[in-house]
């Protein structure tokens, strides 16, 4: 058999990495107002003052992380030129499924040098971990910015968000200063915090709205000029990617994924130019890929509840009440060999999480004295893709 790679001599991509998720552009487009708000919130660091606490809100793919990294790089650079500014330490932690102890432990270990002992995973109290964190900070002095990504997934965020902003006022820090930057997809996260935490935080809020088609076209054009060889794409293909993503999620990540996949489709068909047809063919691939990744990130019971709603959707039994979903869920879990959750409340909690994450749509129904007020749920993504992903995960 001939070498299968021998005939591959041409590519439409100049630098495919520019269309990857980890790529960070040198220039941030279409987020001028958010950058200005971020600048105003961070400026006290330049004068040796206590950093502000900042909460960043917005859906996935709207630039929260990219702008935050851009602002941290810019702030680090400017601090070097300011005599009044204290040394700046930036530490970023993803809080997904973290306890407060695990988060504090991760912060301690990110501050310590690689040659230092790591803080233990278990066996110590959260209070001791916080005291250790404060000691590490004071030893190094300066201003600390703790970026807590997916902060809404942190168990008991009240305790951490009450302790850190008050650390200096309570005498836990003497030479160091601290500010918290919380990043969340959940716009209602603040409302879940206790009143005393809200009063303590006094945070600046920056909301990232979904991109519109014009903004996405601007971002894609910048990426395409660097990612592809000359004349490798039609401008209409760029516009179509932007239009599809704007109509769906307003996510730059989705638009960029669609453009990259369109390039792959064009190459598979030995085309010299990416056209609208290639983007249309790529759309289904990207959609299914997004569903698979999102489903895979959920807990096993979150997945099982989602699969249940997908099955009800295909049977035309949605919108469905949580009690109906629970009954079907028990069958789904048992068929896959999992022990089902035993309370309706636990099912409702998963339904609420899946709704917040954009998997489900929830509507409130009032059926009067007979039925009372209740919620009904239905799927907002492709049911077949959900079931296909679940089969793949169970067979892995």
Q: Is 386 labelled as part of a ligand binding site?
A: no
Helical pair 344-356 and 300-314, crossing angle rounded to 10 deg? 80
Q: Is 263 annotated as a binding residue?
A: no
Q: Does 65 appear as a known binding residue?
A: yes
The pair of three-digit structure tokens given for residue 22, joined into one six-digit string: 């980890």
The span from the CA of 109 to the CA of 214, in Å, is 43
- Phi-psi group of 156: left, alpha or beta (phi > 0 → left; psi -120 to 50 → alpha; rest → beta): left
Q: Is 17 exposed, middle or buried (0-12, 13-18, 19+ CB in 10 A)?
A: exposed
3 state SS for 346-390: HHHHHHHHHHHCCCEEEEEEECHHHHCEEEEEEECCCHHHHHHHH
**Is residue 85 part of an annotated ligand binding site?**
no
Is 196 known to sit in a ligand binding site? no
Cβ(327)–Cβ(309) under 8 Å? no
Is 64 annotated as a binding-site member? yes
Residue reference for tokens 């305790």: 159
With a CB cutoff of 8 Å and minimum separation 6, the contacts of 270 are none
Angle of helix 276-296 relative to helix 252-268, nearest 10 degrees, comes to 120
Task: Determine whether the annotation assigns residue 391 to a binding site.
Answer: no
Question: What residues are designated binding site for ATP?
Answer: 62-66, 211, 223
Binding-site residues = 62-66, 211, 223
């Amino acid at each position: 058999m001939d070498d299968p790679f021998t005939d591959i001599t041409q590519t439409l991509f100049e630098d495919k990495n520019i269309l990857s998720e980890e790529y960070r552009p040198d220039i941030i487009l279409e987020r001028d107002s958010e950058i200005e708000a971020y600048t105003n919130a961070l400026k006290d660091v330049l004068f040796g003052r206590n950093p502000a606490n900042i909460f960043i809100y917005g859906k996935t793919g709207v630039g929260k992380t990219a702008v935050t990294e851009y602002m941290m790089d810019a702030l680090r650079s400017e601090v070097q030129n300011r005599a009044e500014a204290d040394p700046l330490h930036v530490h970023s932690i993803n809080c997904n499924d973290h306890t407060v102890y695990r988060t504090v432990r991760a912060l301690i270990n990110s501050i310590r040098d690689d040659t230092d002992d790591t803080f233990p995973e278990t066996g110590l109290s959260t209070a001791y971990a916080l005291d250790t964190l404060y000691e590490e900070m004071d030893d190094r002095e300066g201003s600390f910015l703790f970026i807590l990504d997916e902060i809404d997934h942190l168990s008991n965020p009240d305790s951490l968000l009450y302790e850190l902003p008050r650390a200096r006022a309570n005498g836990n820090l003497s030479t160091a200063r601290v500010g918290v930057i919380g990043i969340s997809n959940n716009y209602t996260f603040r409302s879940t915090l206790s009143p005393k935490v809200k009063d303590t935080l006094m945070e600046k809020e920056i909301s990232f709205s979904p991109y519109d088609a014009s903004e996405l076209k601007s971002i894609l054009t910048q990426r395409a000029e660097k990612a592809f060889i000359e004349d490798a794409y039609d401008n209409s293909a760029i516009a179509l990617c932007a239009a599809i993503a704007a109509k769906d999620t307003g996510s730059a990540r989705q638009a960029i994924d669609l453009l990259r996949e369109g390039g792959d489709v064009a190459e598979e068909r030995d085309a010299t130019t990416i056209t609208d047809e290639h983007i249309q063919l790529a759309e289904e691939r990207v959609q299914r890929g997004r569903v698979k990744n999102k489903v895979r990130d959920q807990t096993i019971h979150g997945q099982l509840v989602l699969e249940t709603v997908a099955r009800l959707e295909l049977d035309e039994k949605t919108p469905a009440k949580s009690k109906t979903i629970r009954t079907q869920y028990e069958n789904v879990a048992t068929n896959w060999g999992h022990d089902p959750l035993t309370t309706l409340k636990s099912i409702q909690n998963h339904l609420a999480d899946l709704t917040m994450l954009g998997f489900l749509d929830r509507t409130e129904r009032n059926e009067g004295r007979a039925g009372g007020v209740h919620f009904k749920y239905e799927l907002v993504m492709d049911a077949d893709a959900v079931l296909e992903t679940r089969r793949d995960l169970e067979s892995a």
